[in-house]
Amino acid sequence: MSHWERGLGLSEFLAGSLVSIGPVNGEGNLKSFLSRPYPSHGSCRIYIEYNILAGFKSCMKPWAEKRRMTVIQMIACDLDGTLLDRDIHVNPKAAHLLRQLWKTGIHIVIATGRSWRTALKARQELGIPGPIVAHNGAYVFDPSKHPVEMYRHGIPRSRAEAMLRWSFDTEAHMRFYLGYQHPVFLTRIPDDYELWQKPDDLLITPDTLIPRKPLEILLLGQEHVEQFVREYGLKGPDYELTMFDHGHFLEVNICAPNVNKSEGLGYLARQYRIPRQNVLAIGDGLNDVPMLQWAGIGIASGNGLLQCQEVADYVTPRDSDDPVTAAILWAEQQGLLGPLRHQKVF
């Protein structure tokens, strides 16, 4: 049987069967211990075992407080390559599991680099209310609450209007995302506009005043992207650029400095008073790395990027086309989801 350290009062000490004594300030024995003044709690360490029913039972209350077991209170899911399937729809099995977990009181959060419009569509398909972290962490909103907007980290209007004028001077295609129930400003109509047009898109002019800080500015086109990078660089005092090569065209996302998913997710955790160690995050891409590093439990898709897997606590099997379900089942096996077996979740 192991010995546990415990600070005891004298009466509790005499009630037990002493095995050994070791004062903090040196070795001693029973006689020297009893001849000393009554010690206060913590002034000595007494190693004891109680003899109960012809067996030994250790004192199971350590002097130091036990480390609290991690129980997940919030789950954050990326969209592309994680919650969405190959047809760009929410995976039905993952959606069912998340809905069951939501019923037990766990907060379910969508955390994506996509726009608020795309994230809102996925949330509606998921079938449960709750917050959304969109635009790579720059925007947190919850359509089921009032007010809807919870957090925003936008680009200064003066900088955005300067970029707007640049887009008209160069005839570039730019989109300005302003937030929930605000139109998306377009500087020109592209040739394939009918493929992705939305009813709330608004074609603007060079004299248009941007009413609020844009959450994100999107620039498309090979030549225009290269020209923009030459003039603005990859980073300024109030903006940052992220480039994506889609093969047949380049895309640049312009956002405020130091924006990432952990920013928006951290805000939500503070609002709900959930410690970060009680947050589970699931992702697969480079923009998920800060979120997985921040969360208490980070899980990467086995089909995702190596950089994401390297920072994860667990990597789902590569042959799985449903990383969210695989992640939840692993968390349940580790006991991270609390006593859910009794609630018929799985």
pLDDT > 50? residue 24? no
- Looking at per-residue confidence, does 93 or 53 come out higher? 93
| CA–CA dist 53, 197 (Å, integer) | 78
Please give the average per-residue pLDDT across 140-159, as a whole number: 95
Q: What is 74-153+260-343's CATH number, 3.40.50.2020, 3.40.50.9100, 3.40.50.1000, 3.40.50.300? A: 3.40.50.1000
CATH 3.40.50.1000 residue ranges in the chain? 74-153+260-343
Bridge partner residues of 5 (DSSP) = 47
pLDDT > 50? residue 286? yes
Interval 58-94: pLDDT, tens = 332 332 232 345 799 999 999 999 999 988 899 999 9
Please give the average per-residue pLDDT across 173-202, as a whole number: 79
In this structure, of 150-154, 223-227, 249-253, 325-329, the range with the lowest mean pLDDT score is 249-253
pLDDT > 90? residue 11? no
CATH 3.30.1240.10 residue ranges in the chain? 157-255
In this structure, of 92-96, 180-184, 289-293, the range with the lowest mean pLDDT score is 180-184
82: alpha, beta or left? (left if phi > 0; alpha if psi -120 to 50): alpha
Interval 234-277: pLDDT, tens = 999 999 999 887 777 788 999 999 999 999 999 999 999 999 99
pLDDT for the residue 17? 35
In this structure, of 42-46, 122-126, 151-155, the range with the lowest mean pLDDT score is 42-46
Residue 220: band (very low, low, confident or very high) from pLDDT cuts 50, 70, 90: confident
pLDDT > 90? residue 343? no
pLDDT for the residue 181? 87
pLDDT > 70? residue 36? no
pLDDT > 50? residue 16? no
Q: Would you identify the CATH topology of the domain 157-255?
A: 3.30.1240
Contact call for residues 110 and 79 (beta carbons, < 8 A): yes
Residue in 242, 239, 219, 259 with CA at minimum distance from that of residue 134: 259
Bridge partner residues of 254 (DSSP) = 217, 241
| CA–CA dist 267, 140 (Å, integer) | 8
Please give the average per-residue pLDDT across 21-43, as a whole number: 38
pLDDT > 70? residue 308? yes
| CA–CA dist 204, 335 (Å, integer) | 53
Q: What is this structure's pTM? A: 0.76
Please give the average per-residue pLDDT across 38-43, as a whole number: 38
Please give the average per-residue pLDDT across 157-178, as a whole number: 94
Please give the average per-residue pLDDT across 138-156, as a whole number: 95
pLDDT > 60? residue 19? no
Residue in 152, 120, 148, 156 with CA at minimum distance from that of residue 138: 152
